[in-house]
Chains A and B, each alone.
Chain A
Amino acid sequence: MPKDTSANQTLLHVDNISLSFGGVRAIRDVSFEIKTGEIRAIIGPNGAGKTSMLNCINGFYHPQEGTITYRGQTRKQMRPHDAAAQGIARTFQNVALFKGMSTLDNLMTGRILKMKGSFLLEALYLGPARKQELEHRAFVEGIIDFLEIEDIRRTPVGRLPYGLQKRVELGRALAAEPTLLLLDEPMAGMNVEEKEDMSRFIIDVNEEFSTTIALIEHDMGVVMDISDRVIVLDHGEKIADGTPDQVRDNQAVIEAYLGVSHD
């Protein structure tokens, strides 16, 4: 059920963003904001510019026009590692994990920005390095418990089924303790049961860790169920923005996204 987040502070504000690749205009003059604590969905047909939008937010693409304001700081350009340092973590449409490494090690890489210390101490596993490693491991074990992946802790992720890899990827993003979590089609290619599990995890992350979430998803049922507010993009333009109910009834959305109305 959508919760009312209208009174919350704006965490991220996207202002008149436009992005082109040569002659292709991926995003045209789009503005919206994400409020602290909400689950914000971005939907739209294929090629509507959804992933491009996420890539702009975490600094992977640099929009030619417009600004992004995150936690009160307005910027024109940012690099992905800056975004990560400021508490933005993401998952990818096509899982991007270290296939040869175990689930545990993959999650530990999510802690990398939180690790301090010298190379030498790390290598020798001495003093503060040891203490730090244990703390990070404890944190990661909390995530393993949270996502119920104890049984694959030591399994190389390349051997896992797709649905579980998606879950591990969510875990790695969570290991960075993000303020804003970007999920690119977290449920693509999953069966109904896996989707239900993933929906539950997303809602739990949002509510228990108070993480703000922006997600792209194709499954309309899932989007309408779990998000607080929805933005609809079509051909790079924003055509609707509101609660799931408002969006569902919007004529432009029905035409663009669903094609025909089934009354």
Chain B
Amino acid sequence: MAAGEVAVGRSVDMAALAAQADTFPKLLLKNALERGQRPASREKDLGIWQSWTWDEVLDEIRALSCGLHDLGLKRGEKLAIIGDNRPQLYWSMVAAQAIGAVPVPVYQDSVAKEMQFVLEHAETRFAVVDGQEQVDKLLEVKERCPKLEQIIYRWPRGMRHYKQPFLHSMADIQERGRAFAADNPDFFLDEIAKGKGSDIAIILYTSGTTGVPKGVVLSADNCVVTARNSVELEGLTEKEEVLAYLPMAWVGDNIFSIGQSYVAGFCVSCPESGATVMQDLREIGPSYFFAPPRVFENLLTTVMIRMEDAGWVKRKMFGFFMNLARRVGTRILDGERVAPWDRLLYALGGVLVYGPLKNTLGFSRIRLAYTAGEAIGPDIFDFFRALGLNIKQLYGSTEASVFITIQPNGEIKPDTVGVAVTGVELKIAENGEVMFRSPGVFLEYFKNPEATSETKTPDGWVHTGDAGVIGEDGHLKIIDRAKDVGKLDDGTIFAPKYIENKLKFFPAIKEAVAFGSAREFAAAMISIDLEAVGNWAERRGLAYGSYQDLAAKPEVYALIEDNVRQVNRDLADDPHLAGSQIHRFVLLHKELDPDDGELTRTRKVRRRFVGEKYDRIISALYSGADHVDIEAQVTFEDGRTGTIKADLVIRDVETAPAPAAGEAVAAVAAE
């Protein structure tokens, strides 16, 4: 067929398809029709932000779709996507969906073994990867993944010696696709027309705090409807600016960077590299931003360290205005009444401190920011809200296509995760577990009906595995993982995560693991934060040679002991938890690390694994010994392993007396 016949005999009307808007490929058509000239994707390359309009993105995706089809990718087959956030990788997902294939994004920093599991389990025939690093990993596991046939790489750097016939550059595939589209002008739209909302849109493997990862199957409806509900709830428009920097294999990134972007039509920017995120953030100045608590925590730590190094005047000014902000900032943000004088001072602070600070952090234009994943420290949360940033906590899961609850504007409480979002029903099961039902509820775990039936009831309710309570105001409060909530020997409730979070809110503590279930008392393993404690040590002229050396210093032990005592005092205030105060703790000789299997890729503690690995330390904590020798295996970034030997000191901590019931009442009465 000649190229001139392209327009003739078009069987499908693009506008009609776009109007259905029930899959991402159709939303792509819609965006191209409605805002073809507005930017859709942006990436910093060679120091310059490069943009693609929706029209251009449509063209790129069409070329990819046709190229993948020409290479043999068929409807229903799986396509692995591995790499850092890149526009081309996002396009690959929609390109696969356009021809009915299912994208399976894989965490890009997985070691080869983990990658192999997902590729094998998902039966991926094709893989689209960023570059040489990922190609190498795939070549390492390819023999054990017999289904994997074709690998497409975006970036040809370093690939000149790879002669394998199954390796293709994305540019070549797109060229094939363009030639194919010229010969088959109706193909692309015909394929999109075959797609419908109930189709599988994506399979996302959960990082799995326990056991092997599970493939969560989400339909196009799941993703599109949840995205649309959240866009309407928060009033997101095509004018939002976002930076996509969280792993593409994480459900949140999928819903934010594809879901909401395609529904609202806003542009998604990708950072230049993983290391430049903070600079890129500043240049892009997002209006809508998601970050796990850890990111906000790191930002606050950086600000505080930099302020300690600042001159006297700046330090005083910062101190004065931050105190003011803590007092009135959140109230102004929540629309409460504030004295005019304070308002005026706050405005002055905006010019002198808050504005410049927000600008440095890249937060000048933020209208809406979310945090989720774990509890955020009240200090951190208040700090950013006091600056006038509308940070809100949300609660969600992969099985829900993210959103379950969001804190509504003006109803922000540090210890809750907000109320159920549009379309979500919420209830607490008898054992205290939070359950939900929503349009975002996943179809199934891929090839794992057993796990599916364990998690999802026949009438669509999903077990979250989290223990929580719903307050009278409808706000949900999460306490811990339902299965992690245990009891001490004397019957006191022991919620390890709750204690760990309290510990981790101190800047000196990076990670903590609490033990106590079916034990006499609660004890904790703590790893210090090298940056914060290192800085603290420098200020005191305390010399140290390594992480291990620093963590073993008596001064550092004393610092942490103070923190633990503070946590004990907090726990003592709550009659239910007063019995679970920490009696003994140990400082670990290394940071907990996903490469050693101690954390998940999203940096949550793998409790059982840690318990087994550090068995010796735990027995020592409960044997009364004052130190413990250990030898632990570590995995280096290049995959090799080594062992570290250490002699760790165990410290006893005094516990605070629990207020007797009578005293507590008296105290309340006295107020």
Interface residues of A (CB under 8 A from B): 137-138, 141-142, 144-146, 148, 150-151, 153-154, 192-193, 196, 200, 204, 207-208
- The answer on a CB contact under 8 Å between A150 and B160 is no
CB-CB under 8 A from B279, the residues of chain A are 151, 154
The 17 listed contacts between A and B (C-beta, < 8 Å) are A138-B46, A144-B46, A145-B46, A148-B273, A150-B44, A150-B47, A150-B272, A150-B275, A151-B272, A151-B279, A154-B279, A192-B638, A193-B637, A193-B638, A200-B158, A204-B157, A204-B158
Minimum CB–CB distance for B143 against chain A, Å: 22
- The answer on a CB contact under 8 Å between A144 and B158 is no
B5 at the interface (CB under 8 A from A): no
CB-CB under 8 A from B275, the residues of chain A are 150-151
* A150 CB contact (under 8 Å) in B157, B273, B637, B638: B273
Complex: A208 Cα to B157 Cα, angstroms:
9
CB-CB under 8 A from B272, the residues of chain A are 150-151
Complex: A110 Cα to B47 Cα, angstroms:
18
B379 at the interface (CB under 8 A from A): no
Q: Please give 14 more A-B residue pairs, beta carbons under 8 A apart, in addition to A144-B47, A150-B44.
A: A137-B47, A141-B48, A142-B46, A145-B45, A146-B157, A150-B275, A151-B272, A151-B275, A192-B638, A193-B637, A196-B638, A204-B157, A204-B158, A207-B160
Closest 8 CB pairs of A and B: A151-B275, A141-B46, A141-B47, A151-B276, A150-B272, A150-B273, A150-B276, A145-B46
CB-CB under 8 A from A193, the residues of chain B are 637-638
Complex: A189 Cα to B44 Cα, angstroms:
32
CB-CB under 8 A from B158, the residues of chain A are 200, 204
- The answer on a CB contact under 8 Å between B273 and A151 is yes
CB-CB under 8 A from A150, the residues of chain B are 44, 47, 272-273, 275-276
Secondary structure of the B side of the interface?
Answer: loop
Minimum CB–CB distance for A127 against chain B, Å: 22
For B634-658 the 0/1 string (1 means CB < 8 A from A) is 0001100000000000000000000
Complex: A169 Cα to B549 Cα, angstroms:
33
CB-CB under 8 A from B638, the residues of chain A are 192-193, 196
Complex: A193 Cα to B636 Cα, angstroms:
10
CB-CB under 8 A from A138, the residues of chain B are 46
Minimum CB–CB distance for B271 against chain A, Å: 9
Of all chain B residues, which has the CB nearest A207?
B160
Minimum CB–CB distance for A206 against chain B, Å: 11
Complex: A142 Cα to B160 Cα, angstroms:
18
Interface residues of B (CB under 8 A from A): 44-48, 157-158, 160, 272-273, 275-276, 279, 637-638
* A153 CB contact (under 8 Å) in B47, B157, B637: B47
Complex: A146 Cα to B45 Cα, angstroms:
11
Of all chain B residues, which has the CB nearest A196?
B638
- The answer on a CB contact under 8 Å between B160 and A208 is yes
Complex: A227 Cα to B275 Cα, angstroms:
31
Q: Which of B47, B158, B272, B638 has the most CB of A within 10 A?
A: B47
Complex: A153 Cα to B279 Cα, angstroms:
10
Q: Which of A144, A146, A150 has the most CB of B within 10 A?
A: A150
CB-CB under 8 A from A153, the residues of chain B are 47
Minimum CB–CB distance for A232 against chain B, Å: 28
Complex: A148 Cα to B45 Cα, angstroms:
11
CB-CB under 8 A from A142, the residues of chain B are 46
Complex: A142 Cα to B157 Cα, angstroms:
12
Q: Which of B44, B46, B160, B272 has the most CB of A within 10 A?
A: B46
CB-CB under 8 A from B48, the residues of chain A are 141
Minimum CB–CB distance for A173 against chain B, Å: 20
Complex: A247 Cα to B652 Cα, angstroms:
61
Of all chain B residues, which has the CB nearest A104?
B47
Minimum CB–CB distance for B44 against chain A, Å: 8
Complex: A127 Cα to B92 Cα, angstroms:
42
Of all chain A residues, which has the CB nearest B275?
A151
Minimum CB–CB distance for A47 against chain B, Å: 32
Of all chain B residues, which has the CB nearest A152?
B275
CB-CB under 8 A from A196, the residues of chain B are 638
Complex: A208 Cα to B160 Cα, angstroms:
9
Minimum CB–CB distance for B657 against chain A, Å: 50
Of all chain A residues, which has the CB nearest B277?
A151
Minimum CB–CB distance for B348 against chain A, Å: 31
Complex: A207 Cα to B47 Cα, angstroms:
24
Minimum CB–CB distance for B161 against chain A, Å: 8
Of all chain B residues, which has the CB nearest A200?
B158
Complex: A144 Cα to B273 Cα, angstroms:
12
Minimum CB–CB distance for B307 against chain A, Å: 19
Of all chain A residues, which has the CB nearest B158?
A204
Complex: A137 Cα to B638 Cα, angstroms:
34
Complex: A84 Cα to B117 Cα, angstroms:
53
Of all chain A residues, which has the CB nearest B44?
A150
Of all chain A residues, which has the CB nearest B636?
A193
Complex: A144 Cα to B45 Cα, angstroms:
10
Complex: A145 Cα to B276 Cα, angstroms:
12
Of all chain B residues, which has the CB nearest A1?
B161
CB-CB under 8 A from A151, the residues of chain B are 272-273, 275-276, 279
Complex: A154 Cα to B47 Cα, angstroms:
11
Of all chain A residues, which has the CB nearest B272?
A150
CB-CB under 8 A from A200, the residues of chain B are 158
Complex: A151 Cα to B280 Cα, angstroms:
10
Minimum CB–CB distance for B244 against chain A, Å: 17
Complex: A99 Cα to B279 Cα, angstroms:
22
Of all chain A residues, which has the CB nearest B278?
A151
Of all chain B residues, which has the CB nearest A203?
B158
Of all chain A residues, which has the CB nearest B273?
A150
Minimum CB–CB distance for B362 against chain A, Å: 15
Of all chain A residues, which has the CB nearest B640?
A192
Of all chain A residues, which has the CB nearest B47?
A141
Complex: A196 Cα to B133 Cα, angstroms:
13
Minimum CB–CB distance for A155 against chain B, Å: 10
CB-CB under 8 A from B46, the residues of chain A are 138, 141-142, 144-145
Complex: A256 Cα to B47 Cα, angstroms:
49
Minimum CB–CB distance for A193 against chain B, Å: 7
Complex: A196 Cα to B638 Cα, angstroms:
10
